[in-house]
A and B are shown apart, each in its own frame.
Chain A
Amino acid sequence: MTTLLVPLVLIGGLTSVGVYLLLERNLTRMLLGLLLIGNAVNLLILVAGGPSGNPPVRGRITDGHTTTADPLVQAMILTAIVISMGVAAFVLSVIYRTYRLTTEEEVVNDPEDARVSQLTDEELEALDEARPAPDEARDTDEPDELDALPGLEGSR
């Protein structure tokens, strides 16, 4: 199979611009990056389908081609375009919602993750070790499984 160089260079260019935009923190740019990558991938599928040719309808000939173009890739690209359009609409609405809520449109770090990673040793101990030892004197002989636990001694 022979392939043209131009579409391949185009695919590479679109993908690299897309990846660059996707690495931004600005949400609109991230969406644009995603769309560019999507277009690059659609082109790649088209290239994978082989050379151009007649429309895949019986008896239809254009430009004197002798072969028929692959209809499968066109069907797949159509599906992929529809999917990326739906997702783009969804992402745009989420971006708008973010803007309404925070008047910013940037990805922020996970606050709980940051909190956990910045816990000091004392705080960690406070989480785990704040358990006073059971007081045996206050333990009763009553058959109660929980009565040895602090705070529940002699619960019956």
Chain B
Amino acid sequence: MSPSAVLTPLPVLIPLLGAAATMFAGRRPRLQRAITLGALTAVVAVCAALLYLTDRDGTLALHVGGWAQSVPGMGPLGITLVVDRLSALMLVVSSIVLLAVVLYAIGQGIRDGGERQPVSIFLPTYLALSAGVCNAFLAGDLFNLFVGFEVLLVASFVLLTIGASTERVRVGISYVMVSMVSSMIFLIGIALVYAATGTLNMAELATRLDGVSAGTRSALFAVLLVAFGIKAAVFPLSTWLPDSYPTAPAPVTAVFAGLLTKVGVYAIIRAHTLLFPSAGLDKMLMVAAFLTMLVGILGAIAQSDIKRLLSFTLVSHIGYMVFGIALSSRLGLAGAVYYVTHHILVQTTLFLVVGLIERQAGASTLQRLGGLAAASPLLAFVFVVPALNLGGIPPFSGFIGKVALLEAGAQNGSVLAWMLVGGSVLTSLLTLYVISRVWTLAFWRPRADAPEGHMASAAPSVLLDDTEDIAVDERDDVGRMPVAMLVPTAALIAVALTLTVLAGPIVAYSERAAAEVLDRDRYITAVLSGATP
């Protein structure tokens, strides 16, 4: 074990200990905030260090508790944590997003929160969610991946139903049921994989699955793909997402939209490259990607609530990532990795901006919004930059990611790949249409012209949705946008812009990550060399 492998459990350990500490500090909000910020800043630092170390020294593996020593004929029995370039990149981006969103939530709570906000629950749960996300990215065996999923799901149940209003409880039930069904399917997949191979360690599995017959392999991959597909919201399994995300408080929706689906995408990448490199489901994945893109974006066109609209674009852009994965070429995978990074940042930022819109204008639906560009040019600016980025306007990172994917599709050259190339271009155009529709309606048109423009919610809502509708004129002046909410949003925009400014090094890094992921032997030796002392 190399000394730097000591760092690998920290992204899980720090938030979990932080969650416990914030629980104890439940009656002291300032201490709670300090612990949360300290823990998440430490996670960012550790993840950045891991990114640097893995890029320099190669894959890091840690067998927790020294359970590496394997019985002959068995893989490593204990929990294995593995960091390679792909998971290090995911960890860094997620930890940055987690820190920015919690800053935003804290700023919102300080400015608008009253006595009754359930803050003492929010921060510990948020930290548990962070631990779950990091654990899923670090997991080196299937069952630990399952545990990571469960930790983040259970935390997300609490965050989604926070305050337990009628609407959130309604949404929470279907979200819990769908998530649990996907977890059960995942567990069935784990049982079947274990029955077929006798191990769950991914590196050991990768070597043993080659000996399993092709049909069994495809069947196993299909079961896991359904489980991950529900989590990642790939088309036929995506309908739960636009229903459940929009009702949560703005920072919660932002972090869900940014991270939870991407954990599913990450799991698909791992399963597709490491475990089942030639399982023969690529065509099906391509069709699913195509439908995800188009059905998602067509759904977005029909919406009038900005949060719902963004949830549909979220579904649609998952299609791009699945497209890159399904090509199973190095270029396609590199494009997918870059696109995941870009999309985590942009989608989170957009939901944070919607939170700002909701605070300033008292509504998030296009039926009520109007005149925002005149009311607050700054708000218009922070909306339009990530929005154009999502739409893929050059020189933003959305454009770079899409070009990489289109290039990979063209290189593949099959009919399906060309269809997907066409589908991506069309989706990109339609995304632009959706964005410009929000822009013209919410930002340019005078509020008096909006069908329900005279109505607004009475006060900015923080974590509870307990506000009622009143006439706009009677709404108290909410003041300027709080700096503590604006700065994290602007910081995320800045990070997303670095993806453009430093596009060369970052694309090169994604290509190295993709090459490393496709070269299974490196992963296998990194994990198993520590297993035989």
Looking at B413-421, B437-445, B480-488, the stretch in contact with chain A turns out to be B437-445
Which of these, A45, A95, A126, contacts B194 with CB under 8 Å? A45
Which of these, B164, B305, B446, contacts A112 with CB under 8 Å? B305
A69: Cβ under 8 A from any B Cβ: no
Are B449's CB and A87's CB within 8 A?
A: no
A116: Cβ under 8 A from any B Cβ: yes
**Segment 158-192 of B: residues with Cβ below 8 Å from A:** 158, 161, 164-166, 169-174, 176-177, 180-181, 183-184, 187-188, 190-192
Chain A interface SS verdict (over half):
helix
A-B contact pairs, 11 of them (CB 8 A): A45-B194, A72-B77, A72-B200, A80-B187, A83-B147, A91-B173, A94-B169, A101-B169, A102-B166, A110-B243, A127-B366
Q: How many A-B residue pairs have CB under 8 A?
A: 120
A97: Cβ under 8 A from any B Cβ: yes
- In the bound assembly, the distance between CA atoms of A45 and B173 in angstroms comes to 27
Are B176's CB and A87's CB within 8 A?
A: yes
Looking at B109-117, B367-375, B516-524, the stretch in contact with chain A turns out to be B367-375
A-B contact sample (4 more), CB < 8 A, given A49-B194, A83-B154, A152-B446: A41-B188, A94-B173, A130-B451, A151-B371
- In the bound assembly, the distance between CA atoms of A113 and B242 in angstroms comes to 9
Q: How large is the interface on B (under 10, 10 to 19, 20 to 34, 35 or more residues)?
A: 35 or more
Q: Write out the residue numbers on chain A whose beta carbons fall within 8 Å of the beta carbon of B147.
A: 79, 83
A107: Cβ under 8 A from any B Cβ: yes
Are A97's CB and B169's CB within 8 A?
A: yes
Q: Would you give the 0/1 interface string for A109-134, flagging 1 where the beta carbon is closer than 8 Å to chain B?
A: 01011001100000100111011100
Are B194's CB and A116's CB within 8 A?
A: no
Smallest CB-CB A-B distances: 4 pairs: A151-B446, A48-B195, A45-B191, A44-B191
- In the bound assembly, the distance between CA atoms of A81 and B277 in angstroms comes to 32
Are B176's CB and A90's CB within 8 A?
A: yes
- In the bound assembly, the distance between CA atoms of A79 and B188 in angstroms comes to 14
Task: Say how far B19's CB is from chain A's closest CB, in angstroms.
Answer: 15
- In the bound assembly, the distance between CA atoms of A1 and B143 in angstroms comes to 22
Are B367's CB and A127's CB within 8 A?
A: yes
Q: Write out the residue numbers on chain A whose beta carbons fall within 8 Å of the beta carbon of B188.
A: 41, 44
Q: Write out the residue numbers on chain B whose beta carbons fall within 8 Å of the beta carbon of A32.
A: none
Are A83's CB and B150's CB within 8 A?
A: yes
B31: Cβ under 8 A from any A Cβ: no
Are A101's CB and B374's CB within 8 A?
A: no
Q: Which residue of A lies closest to B180 (CB)?
A: A34
Are A101's CB and B166's CB within 8 A?
A: yes
Task: Say how far B448's CB is from chain A's closest CB, in angstroms.
Answer: 7
Q: Write out the residue numbers on chain B whose beta carbons fall within 8 Å of the beta carbon of A130.
A: 445, 449-451
Q: Write out the residue numbers on chain B whose beta carbons fall within 8 Å of the beta carbon of A149.
A: 374, 444, 446
Q: How large is the interface on A (under 10, 10 to 19, 20 to 34, 35 or more residues)?
A: 35 or more
**Segment 226-255 of B: residues with Cβ below 8 Å from A:** 242-243, 246
Are A108's CB and B184's CB within 8 A?
A: no
Are B166's CB and A128's CB within 8 A?
A: no
Q: Write out the residue numbers on chain A whose beta carbons fall within 8 Å of the beta carbon of B181.
A: 22, 34, 37
Are A112's CB and B176's CB within 8 A?
A: no
Q: Write out the residue numbers on chain A whose beta carbons fall within 8 Å of the beta carbon of B174.
A: 107
Task: Say how far B68's CB is from chain A's closest CB, in angstroms.
Answer: 15
Residue among B184, B303, B445 facing the most chain A CB atoms (10 A cut-off): B184
Q: Which residue of A lies closest to B188 (CB)?
A: A41
Q: Write out the residue numbers on chain A whose beta carbons fall within 8 Å of the beta carbon of B170.
A: 98, 107-108
- In the bound assembly, the distance between CA atoms of A116 and B183 in angstroms comes to 31
- In the bound assembly, the distance between CA atoms of A27 and B157 in angstroms comes to 16
Which of these, A41, A95, A101, A117, contacts B184 with CB under 8 Å? A41
Task: Say how far A156's CB is from chain B's closest CB, in angstroms.
Answer: 12
Are B177's CB and A22's CB within 8 A?
A: yes
- In the bound assembly, the distance between CA atoms of A36 and B195 in angstroms comes to 21
Residue among A37, A48, A95 facing the most chain B CB atoms (10 A cut-off): A48
- In the bound assembly, the distance between CA atoms of A85 and B503 in angstroms comes to 47
- In the bound assembly, the distance between CA atoms of A86 and B191 in angstroms comes to 21
Task: Say how far A98's CB is from chain B's closest CB, in angstroms.
Answer: 5
Q: Write out the residue numbers on chain A whose beta carbons fall within 8 Å of the beta carbon of B191.
A: 41, 44-45, 47-48
A150: Cβ under 8 A from any B Cβ: yes
Q: Would you give the 0/1 interface string for A144-156, flagging 1 where the beta carbon is closer than 8 Å to chain B?
A: 0010011110010
Q: Write out the residue numbers on chain B whose beta carbons fall within 8 Å of the beta carbon of A95.
A: 173
- In the bound assembly, the distance between CA atoms of A146 and B48 in angstroms comes to 44
Task: Say how far B143's CB is from chain A's closest CB, in angstroms.
Answer: 6
Residue among A83, A101, A128 facing the most chain B CB atoms (10 A cut-off): A83
Q: Which residue of A lies closest to B244 (CB)?
A: A110
Task: Say how far A150's CB is from chain B's closest CB, in angstroms.
Answer: 6
Are B374's CB and A87's CB within 8 A?
A: no
Are A87's CB and B180's CB within 8 A?
A: yes
Are A73's CB and B169's CB within 8 A?
A: no
- In the bound assembly, the distance between CA atoms of A38 and B184 in angstroms comes to 7
**Segment 53-89 of A: residues with Cβ below 8 Å from B:** 72-73, 76, 79-80, 83, 86-87
Q: Write out the residue numbers on chain B whose beta carbons fall within 8 Å of the beta carbon of A150.
A: 445-446, 449
Q: Which residue of A lies closest to B158 (CB)?
A: A90
Task: Say how far A64's CB is from chain B's closest CB, in angstroms.
Answer: 23
